[in-house]
Structure 1
Amino acid sequence: MYNNSFFKKILIVACVVFLYSCDKDYNSIGDGLIGDNHFDFAKYTSSVVAYNQKIGPIQSNNLATNSLGILENPAFGTTTSNFATQLTLESTSPVIGNNPVIESVTLTIPYFSTLVSTDTNGDHVYELDSIYGATDAKIKLSVYESGYFMRDLDPVGGFQEAQKYFTDQNADFDGAKIGGRLNDSGIVSQNDSFFFDAAEYKETTTTDGKDVVTRTAPGMRLALNSSFFKNKIIGGSAAGKLSSNDIFREYFRGLYFKVEKSGTTAGALAQLDFKKGKVTIKYKEDTSDADKTRVDKSIVLNLTGNTVSLLGQSNTNTSYANGTNSGNINKALGDERLYLKGGEGSMSILELFGPDTDNNGVADELETIRNNGWLINEANLVFHVDASAMGSAYEPKRIYLYDLNNSRAVFDYAVDATAGTDAKNGKIVYGGILNKENTADGFYKIRITNQIRNLIKNADSTNVKLGVVVTEDINVTASNKLRTATSSISQAPRASVMNPLGTVLYGGKSTVPADKRLKLEIYYTKPN
């Protein structure tokens, strides 16, 4: 009995190993069969039906990064990006002594920047990242007290789901702002002629008779109205409004950042991590000493809590408007130009392997490939940029292809373990990175080898529609809800909402020149 059981176990293990080896050999066919005399290599190009889809107003609260400013994009139009955020006390229930007098109130938000050089004095030169527009381009910037309360939970669903806020709610926040602007300094570079300055900030203090220089990397730095914060914070403390952040957020509902054109300049737009920003209130108060010595104190308000990106689109490019108009979209043959625009923008939908003329549930082309017994070495989608349509517009570094049916990443994205947490440079095998080597126009290539292998190998695999968008962070795959669902989509990738840029790509329609046409390239082997 013991021996019989032992041999049964050996037989089961051997079968499992054999089956696993077969599956493993199939999935690594690109490596294992190269050079084998029993196989021939070939390239197959499949047509792709790709058409535009307008996204429209979309959920934009609590994004990892937000844009602020004005971007005039010749290929798409003008984007105006406003922003609203709650504030959070760094320390609740601050103890404020006698005779407090505010010395300064400063709002600071760091820019994305790279250190370029350091001179012999220790001064630094920085290069700003994610700033779009001329280096000295001006905008009118106003910071207001917000009167719009941003709830954590949605009462419509019985407070079971997070409250959603959308890109088209600027009028709500603008209408609820309280009082005059808080950045009312006489220095116009902090308000009416604000610009994203690459200079580091230097502050000199004297300690024990020695000057100490503190250097801070570039960032927004605005002097705010001291009288307002004396009444709101010092006065609010006495009234018990700073005892907890829940009470404080109801009492002081946050800040609303509004941008407008400054004169006739085109303006500029920046990507910012507002959650790293803060308001620092510096004040002096009396001590309990008999001589009433004045001491320095501070209260810090962090720009954390609920946030919302508020986007406006104007001066829309005619070709973009026509190309994304639902009446002009060709779902049967595809569109000649594909318009990918971040924010409250647009995307494209892809359908692979053509129609199912015999109505058996499998596209004719896919059925033929399955019957041919092809073993897939590599499969890529190649998107060519229409440089003439883009003109001088900024180009997004990356695009993101995903499973539209299930609003999730394709398998090739999931199995790509390259380059960790970098927002722009991770997932390099999966791809989607703008490539301008040996071409003036540029192209994006996305690897979908495993996606195609699974379709061919598994008869029950669904040939899903694919979506393609611009992306600000390749590591973010979650989706945000549209305010109004369309017949094709009810949500879109969150990282696309974060990106203010757009690109115009050639589609897969037969009228597009062959060398520019969107195509699915399949490299395969088959037995002789």
Structure 2
Amino acid sequence: MKRAFTILSMVIFGGMLVYNCEPDPDSLGEQLFLDGAASGKEVAYDVTAYNIDNNDSIRTDASKLGLATLGAFSESQFGMQKASYYTQLRLPAYDPDFGTNPTVDSVVLVIKPTYASDSITTTTDENYVYPDGSVPAKKVVNTYPATKYGRTKFNGGNLTVKVEEVTEFLNGYSDIAYSNKVYGSGQELGTKTFNGKVSSVVLTKDSDNSQLFSSEVGFRIPLSASFFKTKIIDKKGQPELKDVASFIRYFRGLKLSVTESDGYLVQFSPSTVELIMYYKSTDTGATTSTQKKYAFSVGNGNAHIGNYEYNRVGAAVKDPAIGDKKLFAQGMGGSSIGIKFPVETINKLKALYQIDKAAIVSAKIRMYTDPVAWKNHLKKPTVLTIVQKDIVDGKPTTNFTQDLLKLSSTPNFAYIKTYNLDKDPAYYEFTVTQSVKDIVESGEKYSDKSFKVDMGNFLSSSTGTTLAGYQFTSRPFALDRAVFVGSDTTSENKIQLIVTYGTK
């Protein structure tokens, strides 16, 4: 099944993402400044900003889950977040023949967390002995730090990863699933400490330098050999292994989780997960057993589901005394930010247009991170999404902003610009020029219009040249979170609408 969009594509039209730039007029109204035809004035107007509670739930089925997340992280503003992962698995071919007298040597589950490829440590063991046949060999291990979000040194940087058998049917690849759904799990199949690093391994024979074994960069978790002997090998010729429909209801999947409630989060692509069974059996006509490798299908075509657990007790995001003076935005089902223009602001802009004959050259929503509440070691978000909401014919609608719909192909257009990401506070500007002009100049009804800001990025279509749609974003797996200054009249960094207008 082809996906309608390419997961993880950063969409950049012209200068869509521009950092540390001086404010500049949008191309929409820049003609007003040509040849001295106009003078520009920048004015700040109040907006009404508020937090949107998403009930800590979001779609995280295979069509939405560009990256799987694993780990746990706690901090004072958003509380505790714990991420687990469910996956189906299938046989590479059905009604398999494992040969005569098969025995399972080992089973390993491999996940491949994202990592810093430019930071490598190599260790070599010239005296390694390959266990199958006691073959003298050389072992070369390349190790890299995984990309982590959270408290990377907590508990010595260790997370305990646990793998369990799923006991509840996960449905199909194209079925909808949500992040707050907990599926049943049973027997523990394996556990291993993850130290925050991933590695590749190459084993070569001393005698002729031939390769005995190699593995790509990843994290390998040993699983129970006896479980797979009983679950798979001993079912040879039975109905459970005859076809895919029977198999995914018999062996319903695997759950990956961590035992800790604090530490950090790591991510990996579901399509690259591997499950390998190493076994020995005697082939027809042979007298001795030989080692074989059996790779299950764990990637594309299977149900993949992210499970996110939150504990907000005592967290600032749930403090009623704070209200909307601070704005909390978090990916992966956390809160969003809503923005409306007060009637007073719209009336002032309409008066400028109708009475003073002013033309809006640029309109931006400027939003600062809270310099106290969000002063920490975490990397500030580099991009957020903004959509426009309305009620049309009595029904709520959501779409890209008018600026994204009409101007995304315009040279130097950027729907968001970021400033001072390495400082406190950082700030973000969302281009809403066309949206504001439509309200002010067309006389459209405004009371039902608003904006919604989220963590994450818009995803591109399969062609890579257009956006897939306002509903296709990386929010289901966006690790970022941040606290911003809201409609706080006492703060110089309060969220505002910055309008540049020109008069002839």
Report the Cα offset of residue 287 of structure 1.
1.8
Q: Aligned partners of 2:243, 2:237: CA distance in 1, in Å? A: 13
The aligned counterpart of 1:134 is 152
Matched, 1:495 2:474: yes
Q: Show the 5 A alignment for 1:150-161.
A: 150-152=170-172
Question: Does structure 2 conserve the Cα–Cα contact (< 8 Å) formed by 1:418 and 1:429?
Answer: no
Question: Does structure 2 conserve the Cα–Cα contact (< 8 Å) formed by 1:336 and 1:508?
Answer: yes
Deviates more, 1:376-385 or 1:493-502: 493-502
The aligned counterpart of 2:310 is 313
Q: Show the 5 A alignment for 1:107-506.
A: 107-116=109-118, 124=142, 126-134=144-152, 136-152=156-172, 163-170=175-182, 173=183, 176-179=184-187, 181-184=188-191, 190=192, 194-206=193-205, 209-212=208-211, 216=215, 218-261=217-260, 266-292=262-288, 294-304=290-300, 305-314=302-311, 316-323=313-320, 329=323, 335-352=324-341, 354-355=342-343, 363-371=346-354, 372-392=356-376, 394=378, 395-405=380-390, 406-414=397-405, 415-416=407-408, 429-431=414-416, 433=418, 435-436=420-421, 439-460=423-444, 464-471=449-456, 475=460, 495-506=474-485
Q: Aligned partners of 2:225, 2:413: CA distance in 1, in Å? A: 49
Report the Cα offset of residue 383 of structure 1.
0.9
Q: Aligned partners of 2:28, 2:83: CA distance in 1, in Å? A: 49
Question: Does structure 2 conserve the Cα–Cα contact (< 8 Å) formed by 1:379 and 1:452?
Answer: yes
Matched, 1:524 2:475: no
Report the Cα offset of residue 244 of structure 1.
2.9
- Sequence identity of aligned pairs in percent? 19
Q: Aligned partners of 1:460, 1:78: CA distance in 2, in Å? A: 43
Report the Cα offset of residue 338 of structure 1.
0.7
Number of aligned positions between the proteins: 442
Q: Aligned partners of 1:428, 1:108: CA distance in 2, in Å? A: 42
Q: Higher strand fraction: Structure 1 or Structure 2?
A: 2
Q: Aligned partners of 1:290, 1:140: CA distance in 2, in Å? A: 43
Question: Does structure 2 conserve the Cα–Cα contact (< 8 Å) formed by 1:434 and 1:442?
Answer: yes
Q: Aligned partners of 2:286, 2:315: CA distance in 1, in Å? A: 74
Deviates more, 1:211-220 or 1:465-474: 211-220
Report the Cα offset of residue 107 of structure 1.
0.4
The aligned counterpart of 2:394 is none
Q: Aligned partners of 2:98, 2:409: CA distance in 1, in Å? A: 52
Q: Which has the larger radius of gyration?
A: 1
Question: Does structure 1 conserve the Cα–Cα contact (< 8 Å) formed by 2:89 and 2:296?
Answer: no
Structure 2 counterpart of 1:183, one-letter code: G
The aligned counterpart of 1:32 is 31
Question: Does structure 2 conserve the Cα–Cα contact (< 8 Å) formed by 1:76 and 1:317?
Answer: no
Q: Aligned partners of 2:400, 2:285: CA distance in 1, in Å? A: 65
Report the Cα offset of residue 213 of structure 1.
7.7
Q: Aligned partners of 2:89, 2:266: CA distance in 1, in Å? A: 21
Question: Does structure 2 conserve the Cα–Cα contact (< 8 Å) formed by 1:396 and 1:434?
Answer: no
Report the Cα offset of residue 311 of structure 1.
1.9
Question: Does structure 1 conserve the Cα–Cα contact (< 8 Å) formed by 2:330 and 2:455?
Answer: yes
Q: Aligned partners of 2:239, 2:54: CA distance in 1, in Å? A: 45
Cα RMSD after superposing both structures: 3.4
Report the Cα offset of residue 292 of structure 1.
4.0
Report the Cα offset of residue 257 of structure 1.
2.0
Q: Aligned partners of 1:287, 1:87: CA distance in 2, in Å? A: 26
Q: Deviations over 1:363-407 (max 9, x none)?
A: 423432441443333222111111311242624333221113323
Q: Show the 5 A alignment for 1:503-518.
A: 503-511=482-490, 513-514=491-492, 516-518=493-495
Structure 2 counterpart of 1:364, one-letter code: N
Task: Provide the TM-score with structure 1 as the length reference.
Answer: 0.74
The aligned counterpart of 2:14 is none
Q: Aligned partners of 2:375, 2:38: CA distance in 1, in Å? A: 46
Structure 2 counterpart of 1:299, one-letter code: A
Task: Provide the TM-score with structure 2 as the length reference.
Answer: 0.77
Question: Does structure 1 conserve the Cα–Cα contact (< 8 Å) formed by 2:274 and 2:295?
Answer: no
SS in 2 for 1:71: strand
Report the Cα offset of residue 418 of structure 1.
9.6
Q: Aligned partners of 1:244, 1:106: CA distance in 2, in Å? A: 24
Return closer, same or farther for 1:389/1:215 CA change in 2, 3 Å cut-off. farther
Q: Aligned partners of 1:391, 1:30: CA distance in 2, in Å? A: 37
Q: Deviations over 1:7-48 (max 9, x none)?
A: xxxxxxxxxxxxxxxxxxxx9553433243332111122211
Q: Which runs of 5+ in 2 are unaligned?
A: 1-25, 125-139, 391-396, 461-466
Q: Aligned partners of 1:152, 1:434: CA distance in 2, in Å? A: 43
Structure 1 counterpart of 2:340, one-letter code: E
